[in-house]
Amino acid sequence: MNYVAMKMLLGDRAKYMGLVFAVGFSAMLMAHQASIFWGVMRRTTSQIVDVKDASIWVMDPRVKYVDEVWPLPDSDLYRVRGVEGVDWAVRFFRGTARAKTEDGGFQAFILVGFDDSTLAGAPRSMTLGSLPDLRNPDAVAIDEDGYRFLWPGEPFRIGRTLEMNDRRAVIVGVVKSSAPFQPTPVVYTRFSQAIQFVGRERNMVSFILAKARPGESPDSICRRITERTGLAAMTRDEFIRKTIRYYIQHTGIPVNFGITVALAFIVGAVVAGQTFYIFTIENLKQFGALKAIGVTNSRITGMILLQALVVGLMGFAVGMGLTAAFFESTKNISHLRGFYLMWEVMAGTGASVMTIIVLSSLLSIRRVYVLEPAYVFRGGN
């Protein structure tokens, strides 16, 4: 019977290809939009992800996400250092600055300032230059995309200069960093220079980076810091989740992407269901003949589900192939960097495709269930 089911399915190539295309297009759109959504959410945490040294982030309790900074006084740094179980704690600056470029233009930057003595919080992946070079006077590093944005088409070169707050900044390195949420160049420098580039204020510490002593749990140290200082302390992963949660709850990003994914599911279900139903109606004589020779309804149901499963698997494979090909072809485009097809998205899309084919086959199964075997002898009238 399975052979007969496949012969019936493949007998009409046009409708078979139409079914595969409908499911494949729906799967591609769902996977594509879900992958881009999650890629955008990851971009919101790029500055957290790039800090490899610290396992604990300490901040003002009013901070809701990484881009919302409530500066801390220097005294808070020493209070955190005094908490039992803290191995080390350093200052960390994150803010925005405006720089004059070599051609006289102005450009806004994300400015990151790390600890002067230990370089904790500094970028660890340098495309050009070396980390110790950032100890030099006026030294800064810039991310790859930012360099390409400022000097498009030119090879990476150190020694270029910027001017921030009437101070000269010399680019001594190019950094391979995570793609930021906003298409803004990211400049890295020591904390003491960062506060000079933006202008001195009373409080300049954006965050305090800390690490638990060996054998100590970062979660327990976070609770201890909060209890003894009144500051918010969380692990790196907790801060990442908090930032993503803020964007999900307070922006229209998830709604917009969710509408697109829902529409892809609905369109896929409607088109596949309609086409599959028409396919079944056109093969009623064959199903009637099978029932006339004693094939049970449950066996015919299995045949229809087999046909739907084959269509679903083929459509899913086509959709995932097109999605993967898209991300592979755009991985070197700076504003699309960091987007890729995740296995979680593939699994979710696969479950959605299975739902689509089950819904698509329900009408067909019902139509065959009520079919009388004598239908084939009446000439289909």
Would you give per-residue pLDDT tens digits along the chain (381 residues)?
667 667 777 777 777 888 888 888 888 989 999 999 998 898 889 889 999 889 999 999 999 999 888 899 999 999 999 999 999 999 999 988 888 887 777 888 899 999 999 999 998 889 999 999 999 999 999 999 889 888 888 899 999 999 988 889 999 999 998 888 877 889 999 999 998 888 767 788 999 999 999 989 999 999 999 999 999 999 999 999 999 999 999 988 889 898 988 888 888 788 877 777 777 777 777 777 777 777 777 787 788 888 888 888 998 999 999 999 999 888 777 777 778 888 899 999 999 888 888 877 777 777 777 666 655 555 554
Tokens 């202008």 belong to which residue?
Answer: 199
In 10 A of CB 216, how many CB atoms?
16
For residue 248, the Cα-to-chain-centroid distance in whole angstroms is 12
pTM of the predicted protein model: 0.81
- C-alpha 341/C-alpha 190 separation (Å) is 36
191 alpha-carbon distance from chain centroid:
30
Q: What is the DSSP string of 231-260?
A: -EEEEHHHHHHHHHHHHHHHSSHHHHHHHH
- Domain range summary for the chain, segments of one domain joined by +: 2-43+252-376, 73-230
User: What sign has the CA pseudo-torsion 241, 243, 247, 250?
Assistant: positive
* Closest CA relative to residue 266, chosen from 198, 355, 190: 355
